[in-house]
Amino acid sequence: MTKDTGAKDTHATKLGNHTLSPETQMMGYGYDPMLSEGSLKPPIFMTSTFVFKTANDGKEFFEVAYGKREKRQDEELGLIYSRINNPNLEVLEDRLALWEKADKALVFASGMAAISTCLLSHLRPGDVIIYSAPIYGGTEYLIRNILPEYGVKSVEFEAGGTGPTLAAAIEKAKKLGRVAVIYAETPANPTNDLVDLVACKTEADALEKDTGNKPLIIIDNTYLGPIWQHPLEHGADIVIYSLTKYIGGHSDLVAGAAVGKGDIMAGVAGFRTILGTMCDPHTGWLILRSLETLKLRMTAAGDNAEKIATYLRDHPKVGKVNYLGFLGENDPAYHIYKQQCKAPGATFSFTVEGGEKEAFAVLDALKIIKLAVSLGGTESLMESPYFMTHADVPDDVKERLGVTPAMLRISVGVENADDLIADLEQALSVI
């Protein structure tokens, strides 16, 4: 929240010499109750515009907001208009930045709003984006079908192989134009394949030495973040979230976020203001509520997911279970997992014996687990990536990447794990 003269320091990260953890700071960071009539929680600032104390204040606020001058030391951007800034969003952005130790966070109307705004702010006609596959269907559609309309080319590399596969993509991309962005989703949706974040940075640094241009590394961290993976620590420039998923966590809102380095995020903030892709105050207020229980919810869901994945692995009608906790030391992805992930997460896919008919029969037989897309809510959800979330990805691409009609994706919630296993048992019995 914008600071006021005489206000208490609400941005302290230490208690004496003791560093406070993010889950503790979610309860009060960036907000002074005394600036809002003593309200324990931030009120919802449902307003389009804000009143200036003086005309000169308005002038100075706009100078900073539109980049006409740099902020003076200790100067904060004053409140202007909710398309530019809003107290609810300021508090939310302050707290989101804590999880990744980022300079700046920005919140958006959806995950796709965050992705598209970040990409549009850094891509220009003639540029090339290198992206990992498989990837969320909406992102795939944006890169494969919409960006080419604006003169942006793309080159794909496969998650799971990393190193040589990424290097080959870069060699191909260099021949097409300026490589502006390396974009990856890790773990990949829906296969849980991993992209080596250190390899991305190494390749970006090498490209800078070779061409004089260093591409931005943008990572979708929705599956594991911000609790179980911190891409900024491994060289990413921007980290993307669908706040709809684990951070929102209750399947009752749609929002997105991007966090990263201050100078890079400043450009994204300018595009957000002009494109109008910001989150609304009420949604921001709801996410603030969710941040207080984020670690508890993700931990509980993760514990449940381990039990359910183990059950599925031993089931005679289940094939491969794409759960990160099952990676062995001989698996090529094992060292990546140990290097950049803190836990396996609570969303994974598995295949059933047969194909579309058998997969749909299981989905239709569910009693407790909901047949729905999305993930990261308190309730468990299952869907068919091939026919639902990734329906707009070409069939030959899906099959090449292991996304088949027999695959089901489960987002494990916080229900009793034994109840969820009982539901899966009866659903699998129909095939």
**Mean pLDDT lowest among 65-74, 302-311, 383-392:** 65-74
Residue-wise pLDDT for 39-95, tens only, equals 999 999 999 999 999 999 999 999 988 888 888 888 888 999 999 999 999 999 999
Same domain, 23 and 146: no
Same domain, 103 and 81: no
> What is the CB neighbour count within 10 angstroms for residue 117?
25
> What is the CB neighbour count within 10 angstroms for residue 200?
27
Residue-wise pLDDT for 393-413, tens only, equals 899 999 999 999 999 999 999
Whether the pLDDT of residue 161 is over 80: the answer is no
pLDDT band at 165 (very low <50, low <70, confident <90, very high): confident
Domain ranges, residue 31: 14-85
Q: Give me the helices (H) in 181-243, please.
A: 197-211
Average pLDDT score over the chain: 94
Residue 274 in any domain: the answer is yes
Residue 236 in any domain: the answer is yes
Q: Looking at residue 68, what is its pLDDT? A: 85
Residue 4 in any domain: the answer is no
pLDDT band at 164 (very low <50, low <70, confident <90, very high): low
Same domain, 69 and 184: no
Q: What is the DSSP letter of 389?
A: T
Whether the pLDDT of residue 313 is over 50: the answer is yes
Residue 1 in any domain: the answer is no
Number of structural domains in the chain = 3
**Mean pLDDT lowest among 32-46, 153-167, 381-395, 414-428:** 153-167
CATH code of the domain containing 161: 3.40.640.10
Q: Which two tokens stand for residue 91?
A: 């508090």
List all residues 6 or more positions away from 245 whose beta carbon is below 8 Å from its beta carbon: 111, 222, 374, 375, 376, 377
Whether the pLDDT of residue 27 is over 90: the answer is yes
**Mean pLDDT lowest among 209-213, 321-325, 343-347, 407-411:** 209-213
DSSP 65-105: HTTSSPPPTT--PPP-BTTT--HHHHHHHHHHHHHHT-SEE
CATH code of the domain containing 413: 3.90.1150.10
- Give, to the nearest 10 degrees, the angle between helix 417-428 and helix 294-313: 40
Residue 3 in any domain: the answer is no
Q: Looking at residue 8, what is its pLDDT? A: 67
Residue 9 in any domain: the answer is no
Q: Looking at residue 162, what is its pLDDT? A: 46
Residue 221 in any domain: the answer is yes
Q: Looking at residue 7, what is its pLDDT? A: 52
pLDDT band at 2 (very low <50, low <70, confident <90, very high): very low
Of 35, 66, 85, the last residue of a domain is: 85
Same domain, 175 and 316: no
Return the SS3 of 326. Answer: helix
Same domain, 176 and 160: yes
Amino acid at 95: R
Same domain, 328 and 394: yes
Q: Residue-wise over 232-242: b if at least 16 C-beta within 10 A, else e?
A: bebbbbbbbbb
Of 264, 289, 314, the last residue of a domain is: 289
Contact between 414 and 300 (Cβ < 8 Å)? yes
Across 423-428, average pLDDT: 98
The region, left, alpha or beta by phi > 0 then psi within -120 to 50, assigned to residue 38 is left
Q: What is the DSSP letter of 144?
A: I
Residue-wise pLDDT for 315-329, tens only, equals 999 999 999 999 999
Same domain, 59 and 202: no
Rounded to whole angstroms, the Cα distance separating 203 from 280 reads 38
Q: Which two tokens stand for residue 62?
A: 């706009």
Q: What is the DSSP letter of 391?
A: T
Residue-wise pLDDT for 239-295, tens only, equals 999 999 999 999 999 999 999 999 999 999 999 999 999 999 999 999 999 999 999
> What is the CB neighbour count within 10 angstroms for residue 392?
11
Same domain, 103 and 228: yes
Same domain, 173 and 252: yes
Residue 369 in any domain: the answer is yes
Same domain, 195 and 327: no
Position of tokens 């698996």?
331
Same domain, 169 and 224: yes
Of 266, 289, 312, the last residue of a domain is: 289
Whether the pLDDT of residue 373 is over 90: the answer is yes
Q: Which helix (H) or strand (E) holds 313?
A: helix 294-313
More confident residue, 220 or 65: 220
Same domain, 95 and 66: no
